């Protein structure tokens, strides 16, 4: 409402719900405007039912005004006006000034502004748009450096990979590559689709694929067995491996292997992470403190998504604490029911056996592990359960052996590193629980919170005795778990002795050279078992999400993926 300041002026002279006499002339003086404009203001406020304006008949009788609003109503209207102008931060800031009752009124109104709606484009075409609020998050949309599920989710919308892995069928689906073949698992030939366009208009070339893969570190999973990449022509390239690896194509299905345009990457450098260019179904058209905006890419080579536009509004966590829907909305209708979904992956404690000290002794590690009681780490009210593996299904099949009787241990002060993923998302709570459990056996400790940059720095990580953290697995559970086991950028492998690192590499080679899925999993679980029995790792708990899902709704595929987010490209609506 454009007359907020005049409504505020009225509160300086009149009490709400009290009938008081006045004149247009007196109000014009208070408003500091003309009498003609004052009449316009009065008519507007009366139409909004904010005031009652009564004109009495008879000479000398003054009109009377009755206010039906207070300061909080004005603030509420101001907040709504800013939200409608898409100045969300100013609107949310104003809402924080009102009482709980008015905040609830705002939430009720705001729910009607978000969700899946239809809007008109600049040329009056009807567009289907999804708009929803989300807490502030600093995104890294460079696939190679993505570190959170938020990053991965956006990357999946903006970029494309050569292939995509489907865990339900344990198969690879063509994407940019329409066909691939191999010779003894060592020579992999990929054939690319013609005329795949990036968002900036250029057609994708096999050189873009080569440049994407060569950005990876030489000791990364995707490159450590890679001898060279041979570009045959603009749609054909060959990956030459040093050793046979039948999982290699699945490495190319990882989000981090999403194809980037070589020219834009060279031009933008580090700026690419906040203004990415891909060839996926959506292109990023806005990313600022107010919102993230995606729009359907008209020249997408694949099936065009049903949603034309997605707007993710930046809102404070305090405001979002009341939201229940996976989109952080209320359930759209009564057909939506509350459910609980577990993540694949687990929280864990890693014991550093490379640091000089008592943890290099296997008996000391064994006794220390006896003091660790995983049920204490589980938030049972949030549905968490004890983990004994990275995979929930495996944890459910293993006996829960817990022995809390620890032998006498050398009394030392241990250093605990708690993993920080982003601001307000860390494993400090779990580190404190561990600290208290160790105190019961006379072991004292110090806790430091390590940022991603710090815990990925081996020199920093090796200074700690214990690392408390967690990891969630991508859609390809096996490959994601293997990456956790062997990656120098993850906290496990750098803290293991040389002999154990060598054993891991030997087992991973066997897994990659096997063409049998069951055998691959058996070898992986054997690896997990060995690490647990040698007391290098203790699994703590599996996490999950409380979400709403539709039993019978017009909207299809509004469900959480492995990132705990909704894949926009899959959403569509049934006709009425």
Render pLDDT for 63-99 as a digit per residue (tens, 0 to 9).
999 999 999 999 999 998 888 888 888 888 898 898 9
pLDDT for the residue 202:
97
pLDDT for the residue 429:
95
Does residue 208 lie within any of the structural domains?
Answer: yes
Distance CA 168, CA 287 (A): 34
CATH of the domain at 27: 1.10.10.10
Does 563 score more than 60 pLDDT? Answer: no
DSSP 373-414: -GGGG--GGGT-EE-SSSSHHHHHHS-------PPP----EE
Q: Helix count (H) and strand count (E) of the chain?
A: 19, 26
Does residue 322 lie within any of the structural domains?
Answer: no
Distance CA 465, CA 447 (A): 10
Q: At what angle do helices 71-84 and 4-13 cross, to 10 degrees?
A: 170
Provide the domain limits for residue 14: 4-69
pLDDT digits (tens, 9 = 90+) for 155-193: 999 999 999 998 888 899 999 999 999 999 999 999 999
Neighbours of 66 (CB within 10 A): 15
Q: At what angle do helices 517-533 and 498-513 cross, to 10 degrees?
A: 170
Q: What is the DSSP letter of 16?
A: B
Residues 373 and 484 in one domain: yes
- 341 exposure class (CB count in 10 Å sphere: 0-12, 13-18, 19+): middle
Residues 282 and 385 in one domain: no
Residues 251 and 350 in one domain: no
CB 378 within 8 A of CB 384: yes
User: Within 13 Å, how many C-alpha atoms sit on residue 240's CB side?
Assistant: 6
* 148, 452, 454 from 457: Cα distances, Å: 18, 8, 5
Mean of pLDDT values over 451-466: 94
CATH of the domain at 152: 3.90.76.10
Q: Helix or strand or coil: residue 483?
A: helix
**Antiparallel, parallel or unpaired: β 537-539 and 345-351:** antiparallel
Burial 187-209 (b: 16+ CB within 10 A, else e): ebbbbbbeebbbbeeebbbbebb
Does residue 434 lie within any of the structural domains?
Answer: yes
Does residue 299 lie within any of the structural domains?
Answer: no
Residues 510 and 388 in one domain: yes
The pTM is what? 0.80
Residues 391 and 533 in one domain: yes
Residues 508 and 375 in one domain: yes
Does residue 137 lie within any of the structural domains?
Answer: no
Residues 282 and 348 in one domain: no
187 contacts: CB under 8 Å, gap ≥ 6: 238, 239, 240, 241
pLDDT for the residue 395:
93
Residues 161 and 51 in one domain: no
Mean of pLDDT values over 257-282: 94
Does residue 225 lie within any of the structural domains?
Answer: yes
pLDDT digits (tens, 9 = 90+) for 466-488: 999 999 888 899 999 999 999 88
Does residue 516 lie within any of the structural domains?
Answer: yes
Length of the chain counted residue by residue? 576
Mean of pLDDT values over 324-339: 51
Q: What is the DSSP letter of 304?
A: P
DSSP 56-120: PPSTTPPPEEEE---HHHHHHHHHHHHHHTT-HHHHHHHHTTS-HHHHHHHHHHHHTTSEEEEEE
Residue closest to 388 by CA, chosen among 250, 538, 556, 245 = 538
Residues 478 and 350 in one domain: yes
DSSP 266-285: HHHGGGGGTS----SSEEEE
Residues 31 and 178 in one domain: no
- 214 exposure class (CB count in 10 Å sphere: 0-12, 13-18, 19+): middle
Residues 413 and 280 in one domain: no
Distance CA 88, CA 281 (A): 27
Q: Domain tally for the chain? A: 3
Mean of pLDDT values over 103-113: 83
Dmax (CA) of the chain:
105
Does residue 399 lie within any of the structural domains?
Answer: yes
Name the residue with higher pLDDT: 547 or 264: 264
Does 525 score more than 90 pLDDT? Answer: yes
Name the residue with higher pLDDT: 209 or 488: 209
Does 322 score more than 60 pLDDT? Answer: no
Select from 69, 104, 123 the last residue of a domain. Answer: 69
CATH of the domain at 534: 3.10.105.10
* 106, 134, 283, 313, 316 from 319: Cα distances, Å: 10, 10, 28, 12, 5
Does 263 score more than 90 pLDDT? Answer: yes
Q: Long-range contact list for 517-526, CB < 8 A, 24+ apart?
A: 517/170, 520/247, 520/478, 521/478, 524/478, 524/481, 524/482, 525/389, 525/394
Residues 388 and 283 in one domain: no
């Amino acid at each position: 409402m454009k007359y907020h300041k005049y409504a505020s002026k009225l509160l300086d002279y009149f009490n709400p719900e009290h009938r008081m006499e006045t004149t247009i002339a007196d109000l014009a003086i208070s408003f500091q405007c003309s009498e003609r404009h004052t009449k316009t203001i009065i008519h507007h406020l009366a139409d909004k039912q904010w005031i009652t304006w009564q004109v009495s008949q008879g000479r000398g009788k003054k009109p009377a005004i009755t206010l039906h609003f207070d300061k909080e109503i004005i603030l509420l209207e101001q907040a709504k006006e800013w939200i409608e102008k898409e100045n969300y931060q100013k609107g949310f800031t104003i809402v924080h000034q009102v009482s709980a009752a008015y905040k609830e009124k705002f939430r009720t109104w705001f729910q009607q502004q978000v969700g899946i709606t239809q809007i008109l484009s600049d040329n009056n075409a009807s567009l289907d748009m999804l708009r929803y609020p989300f807490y502030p998050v600093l995104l890294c949309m460079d696939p190679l450096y993505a570190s959170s599920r938020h990053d991965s989710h956006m990357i999946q919308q903006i970029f494309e990979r050569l292939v995509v892995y489907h865990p339900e069928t344990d198969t690879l689906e063509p994407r940019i590559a329409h066909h691939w073949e191999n010779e003894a698992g060592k020579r992999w030939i990929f054939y690319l689709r013609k005329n795949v366009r990036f968002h900036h208009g250029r057609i994708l070339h096999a050189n873009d694929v080569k440049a994407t893969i060569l950005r990876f570190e030489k000791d990364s999973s995707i490159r450590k067995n890679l001898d060279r990449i041979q570009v045959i022509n603009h749609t054909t390239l060959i990956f030459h491996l040093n050793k046979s690896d039948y999982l290699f194509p699945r490495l190319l299905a990882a989000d981090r292997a999403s194809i980037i345009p070589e020219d834009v990457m060279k031009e933008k450098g580090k700026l690419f992470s906040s203004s990415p260019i891909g060839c996926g179904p959506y292109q990023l058209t806005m990313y600022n403190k107010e919102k993230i905006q995606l729009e359907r890419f008209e020249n997408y080579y694949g099936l065009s998504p049903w949603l034309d536009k997605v707007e993710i509004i930046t809102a404070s966590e305090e405001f979002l604490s009341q939201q229940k829907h996976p989109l952080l909305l209320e359930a759209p209708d009564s057909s939506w029911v509350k459910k609980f979904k577990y993540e694949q992956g687990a929280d864990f404690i890693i014991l550093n056996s490379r640091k000089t000290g008592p943890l290099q002794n296997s008996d000391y590690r064994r006794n220390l592990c006896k003091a660790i009681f995983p049920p204490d780490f589980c938030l049972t009210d949030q549905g968490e359960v004890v983990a004994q593996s990275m995979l929930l299904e495996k944890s459910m099949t293993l006996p829960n052996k817990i022995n809390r009787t620890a032998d006498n241990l050398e009394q030392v002060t241990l250093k605990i590193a708690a993993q920080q993923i982003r601001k307000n998302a860390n494993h400090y709570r779990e580190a404190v629980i561990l600290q208290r459990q160790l105190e019961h056996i006379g072991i004292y400790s110090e806790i430091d919170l390590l940022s991603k940059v710090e815990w990925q720095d081996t020199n920093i990580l090796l200074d700690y005795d214990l690392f408390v953290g967690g990891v969630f697995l991508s859609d390809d559970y096996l490959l994601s778990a293997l990456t956790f086991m062997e990656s120098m950028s993850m906290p496990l492998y750098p803290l293991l002795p040389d002999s154990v690192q060598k054993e891991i590499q030997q087992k991973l080679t066997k897994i990659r050279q096997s063409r049998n899925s069951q055998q691959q999993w058996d070898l992986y679980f054997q690896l997990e078992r060995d690490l647990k029995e040698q007391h290098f790792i203790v699994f703590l708990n599996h996490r999950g999400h409380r979400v709403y899902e539709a039993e019978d709704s017009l909207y299809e595929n509004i469900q959480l993926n492995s990132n705990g987010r909704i894949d926009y490209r899959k959403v569509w609506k049934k006709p009425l």
